[in-house]
Chain A
Amino acid sequence: MIRVTNLGLAIDGKTILHDISARIPPQGLTAVIGPNGAGKSSLLYCLSGLTRPTSGQVSIDGADITAARTTDRARMLALLPQVTPALPRLTVADLVAFGRWPHHRGRPNDTDRRIVAQAIRDLDLDDLLDRRLDTLSGGQRQRAFIAMNHAQSTPWMLLDEPLSALDPRYASDIMARLVELSRPGTGRAIVVVMHDLAMAVRHADWVICLKAGRLFRSGPPSETLTGAGLSALFDTPIHVEHLRGRPVVIID
């Protein structure tokens, strides 16, 4: 379980996050939602240990993440940052292999190679093995990066808006794979910062709602992703209806 206690973050004197306390269950998919500028990415980076909070604590499975050694941290959680415009000309195989780096630090063994091969298979990248990242489509590229994080074999995977800039087909494909990767029994929990409420409503097992740098609400979708809750979160009328048994978000 990730436990956030009284977390605060200020950058250059500007408060980004304010007194956030929440917990994230150690299985399934947790969605972090909220209006633009609410501090979603900042929270994710605090969880990942890459950003040191100004106050408060983040503990992952009982260990203080800011105190963890770099390598231990990289074995505990994998982070998928937003897509950067500059991509190295690495092949997909090269990239996914880097996911094992925290484990072997430069000396891969057979286990590492096996896990890399498995990760490539799990994300259906076999046909793209020798392709370079800069020649892939947006959806394929995102799959390759997720495969790298998958190969990192961490109990936690944190993703910062993995669906942005993807068309609906790729977005739902990526989302389905994330659900697959965080299925009960895989020993992995996934935290995703996302904008797409329809995706959150359909796939999230737990939801953290941020508004203006504070925790607005957190809990299972049945408590958080309601019409009233979302309307108040986004300051705009939102309804959640059921269509053929599935929840659907309607924005007025």
Chain B
Amino acid sequence: MADRSLLILAAACAGAAAVYVAWGLQGPYGFILSLRATRLAALAIVGASVGAATVIFQTITANRLLTPGIVGFDSLFVLIQTLLVLGLGGMGYAALPAFPKFLVEILCLCAVAVALFASVLRAGSSDMTRLVLTGVILGVLMRGLTGFVQRLLDPTEFALAQAATFASFNSIDPVQVAFAAPILILALLLAWRLSPVLDVALLGRDGARSLGVDHERLTMAALAVVAMLVATSTAVAGPVTFLGLLAASLAAAALPHWRHAVLIPGAALTGALILIVGQFLFERLLGLQSTLPAIVESLGGLVFLVMVLKRRTA
């Protein structure tokens, strides 16, 4: 049953991808194809990593309203990048070999995110809304700090760093996509290995602990995986806040199963599907190049509001 839903989702993704690549294809084929394939890969990577990250994050925070983006994971990544620019200087930063640089950034994000959010989670475990608001303000703080550090840079370095702070699928760097893909696959594999324990974590901290789960360790591991996923998507496309909420809620509604082994790939596929179909609609059919992030974010925001208002009656 669950496997079939996943297969249908995967087929839908593949179909959307094929249509996206093949629609109105004209020569020069080689050039257009590689351009479209790169963008397609970027969309799929961002959608998948954000979708999967959100499901995991919602489980360990026991809150269906959160995404890593809302609490500032991606802003943290941008902040780390900016700090690196500040520390190494614009020239030094640009001169670093790309792949090790990316790895260092991901490792930094994992370390900082685990340290920061694990302590917040521990402090606020009894009071969910306060935790959410804390996360949101942390996100604002990260963005503020990023803006602050950017102002400390020289104007040339400033331009370099600022390009990273807006979500966009227009200027995709094929090299980044090539780095991001293996990291995404690695992170998804780790997530898949965690999924049985994440199922138990749905019982809540105490419930899981009474069944012998080391909740602290699980939280750390899950946060590290989330950080990897967020770093991947942010590096490719910049920060996205609400897409994950859209993907996770749609996946939860579409899939007949709550098990993470199904839910995580399901949300990943849903996220990818949303972005591919959305990009196809806006780029090919409506001719609006840069609209997709704004629309997806607004839709996700609306999902958030609806969920809050519905919770009132629940």
Direct contact of A and B (CB under 8 A): no
Query: Which positions in B face A, CB cutoff 8 Å?
Result: none
Q: Which residues of A are in contact with B by a Cβ distance under 8 Å?
A: none
